[in-house]
Amino acid sequence: MENCIFCKIIKGDIPSKKVYEDEEMMIIHDVAPKAKLHYLCLPKTHFALLKEMDDTKAAIVARCLQKVSKLEKDLGLEDGYRVIINQGENGGQTVHHLHIHLLGGEPLGDF
Ligand code: 5GP
Ligand code: ZN
């Protein structure tokens, strides 16, 4: 997608602090961290909303979560973390490329 910030990051056209990459996902540091550790897991396929998932996209999102769980220690999230996927206007989604927020590195308290 031409004007998508995250597609540009995935292509390498916008720099990012990358901590993991494979053929279907990338994990980067959020540019404006809202916790001591704040990562974004980006599926490389562009789509905005969970409701757009077909079986292929759903499998990619599932593998993103599985990979995150395997990387907990490497990411410094072994003491626990919060997973957030903002959806649409009321959800506060500002980048319309589905992404998984990973927040941790400190106790986050409740909502
Ligand atoms: P949303 O509000 O859509 O759920 O989350 C978008 C996130 O992307 C925000 O936490 C914001 O800080 C982050 N973000 C926006 N632009 C960039 C960027 O250019 N690089 C990185 N690493 N994060 C970004
Ligand atoms: Zn995109």
Q: What is the CATH number of the domain that holds 67?
A: 3.30.428.10
Is there a domain that residue 91 lies in?
Answer: no
Is there a domain that residue 88 lies in?
Answer: no
How far apart CA 88 and CA 9 sit, in angstroms, is 21
pLDDT of residue 25: 98
Q: Residue 55 C-alpha to ligand 2 middle, in angstroms? A: 19
Is there a domain that residue 90 lies in?
Answer: no
If one residue of 11, 30, 49 were mutated to test the ligand 1 pocket, choosing by the most ligand atoms within 8 A of its CB, it would be 30
Task: For residue 99, give the ligand 1 atom closest to its CA.
Answer: 4
- The domain in which residue 46 lies consists of 5-16+23-80+96-104
Task: For residue 95, give the ligand 1 atom closest to its CA.
Answer: 3
For residue 2, pLDDT beyond 90: no
For residue 6, pLDDT beyond 80: yes
Task: For residue 86, give the ligand 1 atom closest to its CA.
Answer: 4
Give the mean model confidence (pLDDT) for residues 98-102.
99
Is there a domain that residue 41 lies in?
Answer: yes
Which residues does ligand 1 sit against, CB inside 6 Å?
5, 14, 16, 28-32, 40, 86, 92-95
44 φψ region: left (φ > 0), alpha (ψ -120 to 50), beta (else)? alpha
Is there a domain that residue 12 lies in?
Answer: yes
Average pLDDT, the chain: 97
pLDDT of residue 96: 98
What six digits make up the tokens of 23? 């053929």
For residue 22, pLDDT beyond 90: yes
Band (pLDDT 50/70/90 cuts) for residue 1 is: confident
Is there a domain that residue 40 lies in?
Answer: yes
Is there a domain that residue 60 lies in?
Answer: yes
Domain count, the chain: 1
Strand order in the sheet with 25-29: 18-21, 25-29, 37-43, 100-104, 81-84
**Residue indicated by tokens 């990619």:** 60
Phi, psi (rounded to 5 degrees) for 8: -65, -40
pTM equals 0.97
Is there a domain that residue 56 lies in?
Answer: yes
